């Protein structure tokens, strides 16, 4: 990898949160990443609203993770755990410069306690138990 990718990974270690990726195959070793809530960026698109069957939660988070944790190869129902919270990916991308991978980024949504459905917009939803 490029020196820039290693610099980004080192900065994630300093400023990021410890996290693990959880799939049906198991749990990854801990690594550092950042998660930032995106509601402040465009309040009109990220405001919760009440419907006849309950509240629609629009809390989305921006994920930035190191080059050595390839989130593009994860299954659709993969979950990221940080402390006592769990998140699932809505969108995933690799960030490259000059054809060299620097880091991975994605949009995530927080899982609620209890039973959940992971709906990443593909039409296929996986069902499971939320980690907590």
Structure tokens at 101: 């991978």
Structure tokens at 102: 């620097």
Q: Is 12 helix (H, G, I), strand (E, B) or coil?
A: helix
Specify the residue for token string 């006592």. 84
Which whole-number Å values give the CA distances from 128 to 100, 116, 117, 119, in the listed order? 36, 6, 7, 12
Q: What mean pLDDT comes out for the span 10-36?
A: 94
pLDDT value of position 83: 87
pLDDT value of position 60: 86
Does this model's pTM top 0.75?
no
pLDDT value of position 56: 54
Find out whether 69 and 80 touch, Cβ atoms under 8 Å. no
pLDDT value of position 129: 44
Q: Distance between CA 97 and CA 105 in Å, rounded?
A: 14
pLDDT value of position 67: 96
Tens of pLDDT, residues 102-113: 999 999 988 876
Tens of pLDDT, residues 4-17: 999 999 999 999 99
Which whole-number Å values give the CA distances from 85 to 17, 45, 48, 110, in the listed order? 12, 23, 19, 7
> Is pLDDT of 123 > 50?
no
Tens of pLDDT, residues 48-78: 555 565 555 667 899 999 999 999 999 998 9
Q: Which helix (H) or strand (E) holds 65?
A: strand 60-66
Q: What mean pLDDT comes out for the span 79-102?
A: 93
């Amino acid at each position: 990898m490029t020196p820039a990718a290693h610099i980004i990974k080192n900065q994630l270690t300093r400023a990021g949160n410890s996290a693990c990726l959880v799939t049906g195959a198991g749990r990854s070793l801990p690594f550092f990443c950042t998660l930032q809530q995106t509601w402040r960026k465009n309040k009109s698109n990220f405001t919760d609203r009440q419907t006849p069957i309950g509240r629609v939660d629009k809390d989305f988070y921006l994920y930035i993770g190191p080059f050595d944790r390839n989130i593009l190869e994860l299954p659709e129902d993969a979950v990221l755990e940080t402390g006592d919270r769990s998140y699932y990916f809505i969108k995933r991308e690799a960030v490259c410069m000059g054809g060299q991978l620097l880091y991975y980024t994605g949009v995530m949504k927080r899982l609620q306690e209890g039973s959940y459905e992971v709906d990443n917009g593909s039409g296929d939803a996986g069902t499971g138990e939320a980690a907590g």
